[in-house]
Structure 1
Amino acid sequence: MENTDQQLNLSHSSNSTVLNHQPSENRSQTSPALDYERVSVPVLIIGAGAAGARTAIELAKHDVVPLVIGKRNYGDAHTTLAAGGINAALGNRDPEDNWGIHAADTLKEGHFITDPDGVEIVTRAMPDRIRELVEWGMPFNRTEDGEIEQRYFGAQSFRRTCFVGDRTGEAMLETLISKAKELEIPYRENVMITKLLSDGERVYGAVGYDMNDGHFLRFEAHAVVLAAGGYSGLYNRHSSRTDENNGDGAALAYDAGARLMDVEFVQFHPTGMMGDRYGEEWDGRLVTEAVRGEGGRLFNADGERFMEKYSPEQMELDARDVVARAIAQEVREGRGTENGGVYLDISHKDRAFLQERLPRMYERFAELNVDLAEAPVEVAPTAHYAMGGVEVDFETGATAVENLYAVGEVIAGIHGANRLGGNSLAETVVLGKVVGGHLAGESYTGTPKLPESQQRAADEHFRDLEALSGEGSDDPQEVLQALGDVLEETAGIIRTEEDTNKGLERLEALRDKANDLIVGGRTNRSFEYAIDLGFSLTVAEMVLKGARERTESRGAHFRSDYPEQSEGWRKNITYRQTEAGMLLDTTTPGKPSETVRQALDAGYELEYHQLE
């Protein structure tokens, strides 16, 4: 590539189906060499996981036919890895639970920089969304009385996590995809979106390419919905699937003019697989919190159940940031395993219990010659979830850019400084319905048309993509690996100002490498990696700058040079693009409703020993 700006302005990824498809002989041409397919739709949804699917379903129920596009095959989305459960205050196990306490737990876990209105919207609606999923065929585990079963999850006051064994996300996505097919919602797979067409104030569509044959695509839409996931996959040790959650959605929105928020907050799940016996393929993959929710215990290499000294009341079911830092501390002080982890043990439970409540975990480890009913497994913290993302209005899902909406992990505001386990799936189905319902109420007249300025922008971007292929010196996959190292080492579980400054310096060196990449054609993975690199560099800069700016420790963000939480930092850091570069600013979250304040004042809290 000839310049870094071209690399950094490449945005987001997704899939697509043909609506108003022009045959190849009639494709628009701006020059004899530039050929692309035009697709015109009322609403374009970028991302095909639970958030995108639920948004599309709500639109279709109101007779608006959207187009859902995804980078991978239909039904093959990151939602499937959300194994442990989905939160709703049904009160099936603990009748005193209610949505207000669920909201209070969410605010506390987010260290009071969540958006209280957004939290209330999600927690109020979740019982209805669970009943809706049941109506659509989701096979939740049941109690002896036939009610939906609910389990403990970390930092929750009551048992409110509904589940399908330990494959809840997979079961939920299957349910949503089945409903979407029933409604005949159009879908295209293996399409990567590389840029939103925006003048900074309004979005008109998007451009990208078909990853199978490499041809360019130009989407024109009255509205665009980003549902493209988070950015925890920027770290080398992470729980996401390979080549996913790399920040493409956040970078697309940023490039289009939207404001981002809370990007410095990355959740490190305490229990990712680790150790030579599992192999590189499994390193960092999630050992679901359901294992601890069902009674799993953590031990260091000396055989000590170390959470007794860090959290004697909540033990292994304290907040994820607390447990992750405890593990990191044990390893730093020399009580970790040879591989730098600890042991998670649930062998005190009967085999039949494990096979019923944790079937996927039991099967996975059995295939790796580990019997959960007989032996512990080796675990260590792994980058798991991005609390930050696009700032939205929770009544509509709208961003600061007209006609651009966002939903799911790509947004900020619901989780604050740390996410309550079980809330990610909840957010997708509640806010998917909100966004879809709002867009269904909009009036769409005629076929969307691009203004000439955006037609020129699309053509220019396609030429940039054509110029991307070349014989440089650096492999884009290796540069992405190096970027992961930078974040692991300078913006991981423990951070300092010195580290973040070093990280930003190393980031500039990687930008230089991005000028000189070895890139194959558009059907080559190196082309995808080169575009991913542009997205990832942008978001990594936000993580590092935000981590440096926030001179306190709050939730998942821990600064060893500022180890205390500061009341003066009970605010959100925002990020937006300006002509001068990335601008960081702050905003103050609102106040919770009286119902939620009363639940907070009541001081509900899980006591782990209820499990014993």
Structure 2
Amino acid sequence: MITDVLIIGGGGAAARCAIECRNKNVIIAVKGLFGKSGCTVMAEGGYNAVLNPKDDFKKHYEDTIKGGAHINNPKLVEILVKNAPKELKNLEKFGSIFDRNKDGTIAQRPFGGQSFNRTCYSGDRTGHELMAGLMEYINKLEKVKVLEDVMAIKLIVMDGRCYGALFLNMITGNIFPIYAKSTVLATGGAGQLYPITSNPIQKVGDGFAMAYNEGVELIDMEMVQFHPTGMVGKGILVTEAVRGEGGILYNKNKERFMANYDKDRLELSTRDVVARAIYNEIQEGRGINGGVYLDVSHLDDKIIEERLGTMFKQFMSIGVDIRKEPMIVAPTAHHFMGGIKINEKCETNIKGLFACGEVTGGIHGANRLGGNALADTQVFGAIAGRSAGEFAEESEFDLKDIEDYVNKVIMDINNELENKKNNPSISYNVFELIEELRYIMWNYVSIVRNEEGLKKALLEIKNLRDKAENININGIIEIQKYFELKNMITVAEIIIKCALERRESRGAHYRSDYPETKDEWKGNLVVCNNNIKFIKIH
């Protein structure tokens, strides 16, 4: 199978990328179902864009840089804020519908860490509406083909150039190549590294691992965002829109505790601050049933039913009427600020390989503002599509030069899998090892970290890697999980090593042994080929 542009991923960034290069032959290869298995469709709160004459790009830029603890790539932030309004209009052209004010202007709500109400929304199902429009548009494009239930397991890279990727057919178990002039990674994050996460089951860090394995630079991988509010024990997101509409956080003593952590912004502080505040209240014994209260019962019933309709139904399903009683919430693993290092054209350091969306790093710095992620998918999805299309236009390659290499790789992978099938002498189970990894990450590499815990985590992950070499595999599902486990181990090790390296607290990265933010650490950690390099921002 050969194409001009191969896009790996099935969310908002992948979809926008495909639309931008629709005049080329495009294959979207999705691990699950297109438009239904990524994080975009699950996003509830909104899309940040400067639309109001009283708002301006400088404010959005400064809010994003400040929220990111001043280690964002300023060029990428400028591109984000300046192009977000244009891409919002494109979404409406594609078919997405946003809530409007009585005067016909697009409605905007307040979100944490922002100096202006610039979050556009469609109730509390914004991501779903966004994907509905994108998918409707893509269905009309003759040159864009979608392959579902195929898992990318390895990029095809020779002599510093990417020629596509190898895939596992999750129905038949076959491994096959898709050759491409341009390849775009839009695989999302890795929330499934943790047992409590808002992410769907596909988000295990495949893109990070595949890229890293081929020498792609990753940036700021220690920066993992924990959304402050998820349903306790489930991780299911409780959108920031709840706080944006006026939701109040209380501890078990009915104290509005955010006044102790950010007296000016309170519940609308940045996510890292709110998440640590909730974590601290629980740790110090002021939590309730493993969480804290989030209350909107003081709001008008109509506001809750119309603007927070998904949350209303979500809690009613467990017998909680949020019009009359508070929710109980706790932090949940949510978003990766770190990822593949890209330039303004979404190019990586590997020729012919591009990236967009959550799999990239540098845009959000040490902490992402709510509402910036959906804008990120559209702005940089469009740029990646344009860049990949242009590269495909200018590039040719001879299959004969790479087929022998690819066939050998496939044979080696099949031999590796065959050696692990039905081997009674091997006792390790892939599902058990994945759960073991998740709890290592939750216990030592989550909201609060320290050197002792990180070193212990690194040792336990290394032991897990040894166990992963001795897994008994039976069936296609276990083959998929085996590839996922290897990727999860790779990504976990990178996160831990970067977290050990950054000896300060900044944004989502909080070290209890280094609680201060230090100017000497104002910069980025770039990891490549098992080397970590610190690049200071002046």
Same fold (TM over 0.5): yes
Q: What residue in structure 2 maps to residue 348 of structure 1?
A: 298
For 1:575, the aligned partner's letter is V
Q: Cα gap change, 1:470/1:392 in structure 2, threshold over 3 Å: closer, same or farther?
A: farther
* Cα offset, 1:529, TM superposition: 1.2
Q: What residue in structure 1 maps to residue 341 of structure 2?
A: 391
Q: Cα gap change, 1:311/1:446 in structure 2, threshold over 3 Å: closer, same or farther?
A: closer
Within-5 A mapping of 1:462-473: 462-471=414-423, 472-473=426-427
Q: Identify which of 231, 253, 258 aligns with 1:302.
A: 253
Distance in 2 (alpha carbons) for counterparts of 1:64 and 1:513: 44
Q: Cα gap change, 1:385/1:448 in structure 2, threshold over 3 Å: closer, same or farther?
A: farther
SS at match of 2:176: strand
Preserved contact between residue 339 and residue 359 of structure 2 (Cα < 8 Å): yes
Q: What residue in structure 1 maps to residue 238 of structure 2?
A: 287
Q: What residue in structure 2 maps to residue 83 of structure 1?
A: 44
TM-score calculated relative to the size of structure 1: 0.85
Q: What residue in structure 2 maps to residue 323 of structure 1?
A: 274
Preserved contact between residue 259 and residue 391 of structure 1 (Cα < 8 Å): yes
Q: Identify which of 154, 158, 164 aligns with 1:199.
A: 158
Preserved contact between residue 95 and residue 132 of structure 2 (Cα < 8 Å): no
For 2:323, the aligned partner's letter is A
Unaligned residue ranges in structure 1 (runs of 5+): 1-38, 276-282, 591-612
Q: Cα gap change, 1:558/1:127 in structure 2, threshold over 3 Å: closer, same or farther?
A: same
Q: Identify which of 580, 584, 589 aligns with 2:532.
A: 584
For 1:192, the aligned partner's letter is M
Q: Which moved more, 1:480-489 or 1:446-455?
A: 446-455
* Cα offset, 1:367, TM superposition: 1.6
Q: What residue in structure 2 maps to residue 566 of structure 1?
A: 518
Q: Identify which of 172, 183, 195 aligns with 2:141.
A: 183
Within-5 A mapping of 1:268-283: 268-274=226-232, 283=234
SS at match of 1:236: coil
Distance in 2 (alpha carbons) for counterparts of 1:143 and 1:106: 26
Identity %: 42
SS at match of 2:21: helix
SS at match of 1:557: coil
Distance in 1 (alpha carbons) for counterparts of 2:146 and 2:109: 35
Q: What residue in structure 2 maps to residue 245 of structure 1?
A: 203
Preserved contact between residue 268 and residue 493 of structure 1 (Cα < 8 Å): yes
Q: What residue in structure 2 maps to residue 407 of structure 1?
A: 356
Within-5 A mapping of 1:495-534: 495-522=449-476, 525-534=477-486
Distance in 2 (alpha carbons) for counterparts of 1:504 and 1:130: 42
Q: Cα gap change, 1:446/1:322 in structure 2, threshold over 3 Å: closer, same or farther?
A: closer
For 2:363, the aligned partner's letter is I
Q: What residue in structure 2 maps to residue 208 of structure 1?
A: 167
Q: Cα gap change, 1:445/1:393 in structure 2, threshold over 3 Å: closer, same or farther?
A: closer
Question: What CA RMSD, in Å, does the superposition of the two structures yield over aligned residues?
Answer: 1.4
* Cα offset, 1:440, TM superposition: 2.2
Distance in 1 (alpha carbons) for counterparts of 2:154 and 2:214: 8
* Cα offset, 1:462, TM superposition: 3.7
Distance in 1 (alpha carbons) for counterparts of 2:485 and 2:420: 12
* Cα offset, 1:446, TM superposition: 5.7
TM-score calculated relative to the size of structure 2: 0.96
For 2:290, the aligned partner's letter is G
SS at match of 1:139: coil
Q: What residue in structure 2 maps to residue 232 of structure 1?
A: 191
Distance in 2 (alpha carbons) for counterparts of 1:302 and 1:576: 48
Q: Cα gap change, 1:98/1:456 in structure 2, threshold over 3 Å: closer, same or farther?
A: same
Unaligned residue ranges in structure 2 (runs of 5+): none
For 1:132, the aligned partner's letter is N
Q: What residue in structure 2 maps to residue 607 of structure 1?
A: none
For 1:312, the aligned partner's letter is K
* Cα offset, 1:585, TM superposition: 0.9
Say yes or no: does 1:428 pair with 2:373: no
For 1:66, the aligned partner's letter is V
Distance in 2 (alpha carbons) for counterparts of 1:533 and 1:470: 19
For 2:7, the aligned partner's letter is I
Distance in 1 (alpha carbons) for counterparts of 2:375 and 2:398: 33
SS at match of 1:114: coil
Q: Cα gap change, 1:521/1:448 in structure 2, threshold over 3 Å: closer, same or farther?
A: farther
Instruction: Deviation per CA, 1:96-129: give whole Å up to 9, x if none.
Output: 2112211111100001110000010111001111
Distance in 2 (alpha carbons) for counterparts of 1:531 and 1:554: 32
Within-5 A mapping of 1:529-548: 529-548=481-500
Distance in 2 (alpha carbons) for counterparts of 1:349 and 1:445: 58
Distance in 2 (alpha carbons) for counterparts of 1:111 and 1:403: 32
Distance in 1 (alpha carbons) for counterparts of 2:137 and 2:537: 36
Q: What residue in structure 2 maps to residue 67 of structure 1?
A: 27
Q: Cα gap change, 1:79/1:179 in structure 2, threshold over 3 Å: closer, same or farther?
A: same
SS at match of 2:177: strand
Distance in 2 (alpha carbons) for counterparts of 1:445 and 1:420: 38
